[in-house]
Structure 1
């Protein structure tokens, strides 16, 4: 491809009037394509993706969104920067990084004011339409050869100095079957070989098991697990419980991710984080309910667990409907809902839940002080 490919007015008119690659009523198709574009971009930025400002990530998401139908974007960096209140240089730098990694290919429209280059047009190389666009515009684009690819020229063999040296290798390297490593079936009671990568702010035990699988995603997954851990005010669960339960949650995420890949589907980081937070809340509540209900029979314990898990829902409804309620009013309202909704529980069981209400509430201490003032 030439350094600056100029797109004529007729060519550009043809591109903008192409039929969308996905029917307009196929929302799932659009969502799948958007996630595939975003996943490729996240893979380019790596850990830096989560260090970017929210406005910068939203700008990149906007670039993906307007490229879904026909595989290219011709919005100017000035327009994108002003839309999301970021610097124009930030947009230029992001586009440059994506071009260097072969995610985007750049061409220019013909200028209306002079006989030169006009506004830039960026094409997504992983879009289904790109092969057709590449042939139509004669871009001549080919994937860049990586530095670790083998050269096409045959190697010149070098003889050994002594015949005895050829019988013994100087260095024995361990063999690694990549296909076999992709199909690792994680077991919570079997330690996996530690990965060379180490994700910051994640415990060593979790890193050893899952750093090589989730890579940069592990930091966000663990952040959601610890966020759920902090929302539950308790004193019976210790760090060892957090590690054990967090490891099981990561294992479940990996199993779901593996099933999706088997069905040619993707699982984004946001979906992994949502799954991790929801699973963590359920796991921690179940653990606490099991601890406090050891003295009850199985049916009573099951009902008490359902009552405890319904407390956050009752609190959210109460705070949305009654904005002037303080913490004690919320507690009284939720207690009334529990007594009405779980009438089959014994009064002793309900009293025990209400007496230990501060263990199950999702209202943080700072928020409680505000509600009480």
Structure 2
């Protein structure tokens, strides 16, 4: 699918409020984007040429404000003394692994491709707004646009929808202070006292795990289902933290990504288990129980635990048990919905 950005639409996007407004904020956002790149390269990152690393760093830095950069490949290559082929391989690799999406500015002389724009999928603006550019609905709109004759500026200016812009720009008068963590689902706001603003970064990792799941199984989940997986993943993360593990944000990000990926895979496995015979299903559940027991580890010293762990243990155990039971029932309902959806697709 080829996504085009109209000139008027690009002007509206460029006029939106920056997510990062100073060097300190830009650096923080850049590190999040850069970490997603490093995860793709793994150990190969340390073997990349210095110029290649600087080029990637440049793209992350200029994407920190609004989530995209539209510098040409030739410009980036010449700036850091690397070949066009090298930067082209980098972009292809990041696009293939879902780190960036590519759109094109429309050529003013027709419907052909203009200069490319690179959107980082872990940026907050992408997850809240820009991702709509790459949906099936947008593909249908682009197909319709390509069938229309080219209209010159003398024939009238184009009207561009603003439904892809951040709401803080469209309804600036409604942009008032709120105690919620931005771009984090309401169902996960309960954890803001524990993680603060870092909750946003943890939710981004859950979103990346979902994108990986979709690419592997070609199955789309509803917003409610994704949020349920996020809830379970962060609750599991808190359990690890209570044991003295994953004390740094970097460790927490890696762990919540692994937990969420595992939960999405279990969701698919459970849908398959519903089709098993009772005997096979019992064996499947027994294997899962053994796996949970094997993952338990010895807790560390009490003085290493955060203060909120001790405070949380004062809560009523009955309430915690009731909450876990509700989460389990909700998870079972989601698995049943996924199974029914899969059966309906097979019959269709």
**Normalising to structure 1: TM-score of the pair?**
0.41
Structure with the bigger RCO (C-alpha within 8 Å, sep 6+) is 2
Report which of the two has the higher share of helix.
2
Highest Rg: 1 or 2? 1
User: TM-score normalised to the size of structure 2?
Assistant: 0.44
